[in-house]
Structure 1
Amino acid sequence: MNDLLRTAELTVIGQVTTASNATLVCETDPEQTGELLRVVYKPVRGERPLWDFPDGTLAGREVASYLVSEALGWGVIPETVLRDGPFGPGMVQRWIEVVEDEAGPDLVDLCPVGEIPAGYREVLRALDPAGHPVSLVHAEHPQLVRMAVLDVLINNADRKGGHALAGIDGRVYGVDHGICLHTEPKLRTVLWGWAGEPVSDELLTDITTLVKALPGELGGQLAAHLTDAEIEALEARGRALLQAPVMPMPLGPRPIPWPAF
């Protein structure tokens, strides 16, 4: 899959119009590649500059976040590479086919206050556009726990509800990691349901592996996309979790991205 992701010719078949930056859907020609591969392609030339992320590219940060996920062994982020495409260099990521279940709630959803579904955690209460009180909730899925911990490690500034996908393969995936890995605290996420709770020993073992790998080959791979200070900050966040293995509490005036979905 990775070789095809890196080398196959891509044809644009659509665009995600709700995205802040150019986000294109592409496919490969199965007659040329032997199989049909659908991907998300975000060309660097379609990025809108962010004053607080002046270094590197958003595409590079997406790839760096994927490398961290893989180093942890969690597979939270779909296969992601930096390569040339129809509009120049950009991020190319495997498309995730999601479960369509209109009967039940999504991984992150809204529900009437007092009607939280079984297996879900309430994050906050607010008013919907019609003025009705609602609860923002997310599932207690074990793979969603990993995503929440990953967000702490990569300092994710934009974990919206729509960025957590339930794949048809039964796995949970996170997408859209362009504004991650800053040196300053910027964690904004809808996955606050585990705030203040301990991180499991299993996940701490994986974080230990990550921290040990950063001075070596992993750090070299990340250096193609991040500054030295950003890599050092990633290591510091990992060590901080190992020393105080508790999920952080929301801080600052904007702990949740807006819009939340």
Structure 2
Amino acid sequence: MPAPDLVTAELKLTGRITTASNATFLGSIGDSVVVYKPMAGEQPLWDFPHGTLAHREAAAYLVSQVLGWDVVPHTWLRDGPLGEGMVQLWQEQDPAQNAVNLLPADLVPETGWKQVLEGRDETGAMVALVHEDSPALRHMAVFDVVVNNADRKGDHILAMADGHRYGVDHGLTFHHDHKLRTVLWGWLGEDLTAEELDGVDRVSAGLDGELGRDLAALLSAEEIVSLASRCAQLRLAGQFPAPRGEMSAVPWPLF
């Protein structure tokens, strides 16, 4: 029997993710488990146009595909039981792995991890925010710079059993103003690899072709111009950028 069409086949709701700030549901399309975020359930934000978060999630997937690193799970727009929204294939992460963690400050490993910041926990003990030093997370960090991700929390990184890392929750992306907030600051100032620069070049080239045409249905013209500018600036610098501006460089909460 052929697989159901993910755009037209019936989307059945099976549960709700109550920890999400916007209405977020688990569902199924045939045998595929999906996440469904109806546009009608989006909470208004002061700095992002209302009713655009689903489009930004779909746009993030398109950019991820052109980068070539499979950062974002398959994501698309379609109608559902609560109206049009974003649908994404569910990914079952490995509960035994943590790509981002809080550790006692004196127990940070010397290799394999990058420390982002230190602080005190609710008991007053010193703790450190750390993340893996892995190619998969480097790819995600480059992706976040390109799409101007304002909300890369630790729990928005899914650690898969095979070592792959997926990024999810990309509604707060593509703003025309600088809004990069992320827990992945460990490579600050380090040179981008040739492979990473090639990915940025693919996005730049794609904006003059199919990618640009597809994004025009999801983002404003100003946001697409800003995306092109970020790619050009990142390519010119050739390094992971540093935080800038007066806003917080990390999202809150961190997880």
Q: TM-score, normalised by structure 2?
A: 0.95
The percentage of counterpart residues that share the same residue type is 51
Whole-angstrom distance in 2 between the partners of 1:19 and 1:56: 16
Matched, 1:108 2:100: yes
Report how far residue 213 of structure 1 moved: 1.2
SS state of the match for residue 114, structure 1? Answer: helix
Report how far residue 92 of structure 1 moved: 0.2
> Root-mean-square deviation (CA), in Å?
1.6
Query: What's 1:181 paired with?
Result: 174
Which runs of structure 2 are paired with 1:75-224 in the superposition (5 Å)? Answer: 75-101=70-96, 106-117=98-109, 118-224=111-217
Query: What's 1:72 paired with?
Result: 67
Whole-angstrom distance in 1 between the partners of 2:215 and 2:155: 26
Q: Is the 8 A contact 1:56 1:226 kept in 2?
A: no
SS state of the match for residue 79, structure 2? Answer: strand
SS state of the match for residue 146, structure 1? Answer: helix
Matched, 1:43 2:38: yes
Matched, 1:229 2:222: yes
Report how far residue 257 of structure 1 moved: 0.3
Report how far residue 86 of structure 1 moved: 1.1
Q: Is the 8 A contact 1:122 1:138 kept in 2?
A: yes
Moved over 6 A (4+): none
SS state of the match for residue 101, structure 2? Answer: strand
**How many positions carry a matched residue from both structures?**
252
Runs of 5+ consecutive residues of structure 1 not aligned to the other structure: 30-35
Whole-angstrom distance in 1 between the partners of 2:168 and 2:27: 16
Report how far residue 15 of structure 1 moved: 1.1
Whole-angstrom distance in 1 between the partners of 2:123 and 2:106: 18
Query: What's 1:255 paired with?
Result: 249
Distance 1:145 1:2, change over 3 A: farther
Q: Which deviates more from structure 2 when the two are superposed, residues 121-130 or residues 38-47?
A: 121-130
Q: Deviations over 1:68-117 (max 9, x none)?
A: 0101111100000000111110000000011121xxx6100100002113
Runs of 5+ consecutive residues of structure 2 not aligned to the other structure: none
